[in-house]
Amino acid sequence: MKGFFKTTLACVLGMIIAGGFLLFLGINLIAGIATFSSEKGEIEKNSILFLDFNGTLGERAVENPIASIMNEDQKNYGLDEILYAIKEAKRNGDIAGIYMQAGNFGGASSASLEEIRSELQSFKESGKFIIAYGDCYSQGLYYLATVADKVILNPQGRIEWHGLASTPIFYKDLLEKIGVEMQIFKVGTYKSAVEPFIATEMSDANREQVAELLSYTWDELLTAISTSRNLPKEKLNEYADRYMDFLPSEEYIACGMADTLLYKDGVLEYLKGLTAVDGDEELNLVTMETMKSHLQTRRTLDEASDKHKIAVYYAYGEIDGATTSFEEGINSNKVIKNLRELREDDDVKAVVLRVNSPGGSAYGSEQIWREVTLLKAAKPVVVSMGDYAASGGYYISCAADCIVANPTTLTGSIGIFGMFPMTEKLMKDKIGLDFDVVKTNLMSDFGTLSRPFSPEEKVVLQNYINNGYDLFLKRCADGRGVAVEDIAKVAEGRVWTGGKAKEIGLVDELGDLDKAIKIAAQKAGLTDYSVKSCPESKTLVEKLVADGNEDYMEIMAREALGGYYNCFKFIRNIDNYDRIQARLPFELNIR
């Protein structure tokens, strides 16, 4: 009886604590929603759009309710919303200029930065001002800042300027220590995604392609900065060789990389002067949250519009990979269903498939390819490539009527591989497990982890990989309207920049999403149309109802690991991936 009362009391106490926590969670959630709603303010005369580049950039914005409730400074920016904010600020006569502030901007790859910079340049050409300020400019944010009329640096600040480097991680020795061996089957000399598991350094072929990628991307960056800052590219390279990251702030002024040194209060006073605001008055800063509300209003109006629609379908992340509710990923079944709905929607006259993916499941890629071909038969399909549209990402793109890429988009990587862990040493030598088998046929126990593949099994698997590669080549050749032999010359798993891909015929046009939309409108014969973004993003409550705690920890891991996050994620979820992959080398770790 005594034990019964103790157990009952513990249960009641647990319910009280849980109830209190849920009440706290609910109150904070309501407060958070109220705060979010209150951001929908009016834009006053002589306002300034404040672009605070501090957080994580993704293809589309991802709300993080758990982080908001816990008062974490976790900002998730969507490229689509940043671009819209700049466009809207350009159109709005009450916005006089842009104030951009450099911070820690994770996930911002070259192609995304290109799109933002292009939009900033268009804004500047409209006659409005752009002022940039930073305590510390990363190379990527400095690339953005140089479009500004004035680049301001904190007197104790610095500008990172050292060039680009790729530092992939190799796991072969680690796997050997724990008794695991990766059995690899692949096609493509440059298909280097498997290298970290079977080697301790880059192959010559991989080193060649990575060197070319870095060289092309660096030259694009140098060209843009050289033009904006009126600094010869040779000088910029000299500065990079000096490793400018830790020099006194006055040195950046002397070198012409920045214009002036000011603390933040000085910057705000300078902005007041540009907008004729008296010293005692506050600046009219328009935040991204305010612009988000305008974006939602615009999307609602577009949905209600009687105009013909062009649908922009966002396909980003790994194809059939392991994701959380805050990481959409590309679920092939979901994408097929969504594309079929767009095909059957008579109001949608053309589709722009926005692809930002390093690839993934070869099987899932083939299924999406099929749906894209059916969609193309019904209405124009134009692909807009983001940071990546490689391997499986290119697979799902190749059937489109037109492919548009940014100059530094990573694409191509036409090749596939299979990777199978063999744990015989781990099981027997490390753990002490022994296995036996009784079977009716030669390969009845095919795929067991307790032994390596037999010669006969290796032949079966390699033939399967070869057939998959041949199919990939055919899909690309048919989509591009060329012979298989021509595609084979630029395949072999090699990764190309968007600029090089256009030269070799894998891409049709260089440009951003806007250019792809214009091409889609032309192909559909439209001059009057609205743009519909899909699929619909999840609401705040929908994400909270999902497994928020696990997702919150996932976000924390991504923030902590930075460029190494994808490597960690792939290793952790390796058993959940399809064994046959059409995937870009994910561990480039460019910095």
Q: Do residues 239 and 161 make contact, with C-beta atoms less than 8 angstroms apart?
A: yes
Q: Which of 366, 379, 368 is nearest to 311 (CA)?
A: 379
Instruction: Tell me the C-alpha distance between 525 and 457, whole Å.
Output: 54
R_g (Cα) of the chain, nearest Å:
26
Q: Do residues 225 and 143 make contact, with C-beta atoms less than 8 angstroms apart?
A: yes
Q: Do residues 327 and 543 make contact, with C-beta atoms less than 8 angstroms apart?
A: no
Q: Do residues 338 and 294 make contact, with C-beta atoms less than 8 angstroms apart?
A: no
What amino acid positions are annotated as catalytic residues? 191, 391
Q: Which of 324, 328, 318, 322 is nearest to 357 (CA)?
A: 318
353 phi/psi in degrees, rounded to 5: -95, 105
Per the DSSP assignment, residues forming a β-bridge with 418 are: 185, 580
Q: Do residues 271 and 283 make contact, with C-beta atoms less than 8 angstroms apart?
A: yes
> What is the β-pairing status of strands 416-422 and 580-583?
antiparallel
- Write the DSSP assignment of 162-228 as a string of letters: ----B-----HHHHHHTT-EEEEEEE-TT-GGGHHHH-SS--HHHHHHHHHHHHHHHHHHHHHHHHH
